[in-house]
Amino acid sequence: MKNLFNFANDMQMNHDYKKLQFIIHRGSHQIGGNCVEVATPNVKIVIDCGLPLDYDNQDLDIQEKIHEDAKGWLDHCDAVFLSHYHGDHYGLLSDAPKGTRVYTSKETAELMKVSGIFGEDLTEHLDIQVMNGTVAVKDFRVTAYPVDHSAYGACAFHFEVADKSILYSGDIRLHGKKGILYKNLPQNVDYLFLEGTNIGRGAKQRTETDMENEFIKQFDETPDSVHLVWCSSQNIDRIVALYRACKRTGRALCVDPYAAYVLELAHKAHTTIPTAKTHTNLLIFYPHRLTTKMIEKDPELIFGPYVKKRKLDVKLLQSHPGKYVMLFRPSLLYYAKTYLNEVKVCLTNSIWAQYWEQDKLDINRMKEWLEEKPELRKKLPDIHTSGHADVPSLQTIVKHVKPKHIVPIHSEHSDSFSSLFPDTSVMEVVDEVQHTI
C-alpha cells in the first residue's frame, strides 16, 4: 500500500519542495468510502475517511483489513478535512490516532457530538476544529465552501499550495433548497475532484419542492391513516418538506428525540427550520430503548421544560391516526408494533433505495414485518430525491468552476466522465496510485 507521507520524506531529502501529490486511497471507482490524501514534502492531509457502503456485508477478515488500511492512511497525518457527516465519508475516523486534528463545518462538528449522546462516541479522541473561513496547515491554505447535499452542513474544500489548487466537491447537488451555493465555488482551479454518484443512472432529479407536493398528495389520498415516513434524521431539507406537507394537510409531524435534537441544532443556524420548541404541530414520541439510553446520558434531553407540551399523546394517535405523520426508521419498528397494530398505517420510503439491500438486523426485521402485512408491501411508495447531482447539474458545476483537470471520484462510472465533459481534461485514476501535480 502506497503512502504519500513516506514519499514526502524522500522529496524533502531531495530539497524539491514544489511537488504536490495526491492519491485516492478509495473512491475512484465506487460510491462511498471516500479517502483522498494530498501531500507535499512538508505536510500530509487526508480528505474524508469513509466506511464502504458494503462494509456490513463483508466477511470479518475483510472488515479488519478495511480498518487496518485506514490506520495506515491516517498515520502521521497533519490534518483531516471532513466534508460532511455521512458514514461513507467519516466512518473510519475512529481509526485515527488520538489527537488527530479534524477540520469541518460547525454543523458537522455539532452532529459529531450527537453520536456520543445517542450511542457510542467514535470521535471523542479527535481534535475537532470548526472551520471559519480559511485555515493554514503548513504549506496548505484550505477554504471550506458550503454546498447543497442531503447532509446538514456539507461543504466542499479548496486546497491551495504554492501555485497549484485543488477543489474537492464532496457530495453535492443543485436540486435541493440550497443548490445556488455552487456559484460561490472558486473558479479556474487546477484540479476538480468531482463526485459522480448519479452518472450512469440517467434520471433527472426531482426537487425538494416536488417531494413536498408528493407528500401532500399522498396524505390527502389516505386521510384516515397514520403515515410512517422512512427518512434520515440528518436530511434536514427532506424533513422541512415533510413538515410543510403536514402543515398544509392539517397533520402533526412526530419525531423521536434524536431527530428532535438534530432539528434543534439545525435551528440554531437557520431559524426557519422547525423544532418542537418553536412549532406547534411538531411533536415528540419516545421509543423505550432510545429514551432509556438518553436518560442515562443526559436526563435534560428527555425532561426539558417543553417536553410535556410537545409529547405525542398515543391515545390521540390511535383514535385519530389521520392527524399524524411519523418520522420513521427500521430501528423504531418495535414502537410501531406496540402502538399501531390496531390502526391504519401507510409506509413511505424517503431514503436511497439500496438501503433495503443492506444485511442489517433492523432492516431484516422490517422486511419480515412487511411480509406479514401484504397491504403495506403493495403500497410502498417512493417519495425521494437524491442527495447527489444529476448529470446536467454536474455539467453546470464544471462550467462554473472551469477546472483544468477533472478527477473522478465517488462514482461507479468514472470511465464516462470524458464523454460527459468533453471540453475538460479528465484524469484516469485508480485507487492507491499516486499522481504528481
- Together in a domain, 352 and 391: no
Considering only the C-alpha atoms of the chain, give the largest distance between any 2 of them, rounded to a whole number of Å.
77
The pTM for the full model equals 0.89
Q: Decide the pairing of beta strands 434-436 and 140-146.
A: unpaired
- Together in a domain, 215 and 329: yes
CA 174, CA 131: separation in Å to the nearest integer? 23
CA 380, CA 396: separation in Å to the nearest integer? 34
b/e 273-291 (16+ beta carbons within 10 angstroms → b): bbbbbebebbbbbbbeebe
Distance of CA 331 to the CA centre of its chain: 19
Please give the grid coordinates belonging to residue 348: 413511505
Q: What is the mean pLDDT of residues 278-288?
A: 89
In this predicted model, what pLDDT tens digit does every residue of 348-395 receive, in sequence order?
999 987 778 777 888 888 888 888 877 776 666 789 999 999 999 999
- Together in a domain, 280 and 422: no
- Together in a domain, 21 and 64: yes
Domain count of the chain? 2
- Together in a domain, 178 and 198: yes
- Together in a domain, 164 and 287: no
Which of 378, 404, 427 delimits the end of a domain? 378
What's the mean per-residue pLDDT of the chain?
89
- Together in a domain, 190 and 154: yes
Whether the pLDDT of residue 4 is over 80: the answer is no
In this predicted model, what pLDDT tens digit does every residue of 126-136 receive, in sequence order?
999 999 889 99
CA 237, CA 249: separation in Å to the nearest integer? 19
pLDDT of residue 395: 97
60 neighbors 141 (Cβ within 8 angstroms)? no
Question: In 3D, which of 301, 306, 362, 297 has the Cα closest to residue 336?
Answer: 362
We report the CATH number of the domain holding residue 215 as: 3.40.50
We report the CATH number of the domain holding residue 185 as: 3.60.15.10
In this predicted model, what pLDDT tens digit does every residue of 197-219 receive, in sequence order?
999 987 789 999 999 999 999 99
- Together in a domain, 214 and 305: yes
* Packed helices 288-297 and 106-118: angle between N→C axes, nearest 10 degrees: 100
Which of 360, 378, 396 delimits the end of a domain? 378
Name the residue range of residue 264's domain: 208-378
- Together in a domain, 192 and 288: no
Which of 330, 356, 378 delimits the end of a domain? 378
Give, in order, the Cα–Cα distances in Å from 109 to each of 47, 128, 137, 260, 352. Answer: 15, 7, 19, 17, 24
- Together in a domain, 305 and 254: yes
- Together in a domain, 354 and 294: yes
- Together in a domain, 216 and 293: yes
Q: What is the mean pLDDT of residues 403-415?
A: 97
In this predicted model, what pLDDT tens digit does every residue of 22-71 receive, in sequence order?
999 999 999 999 999 999 999 999 999 999 988 988 899 999 999 999 99
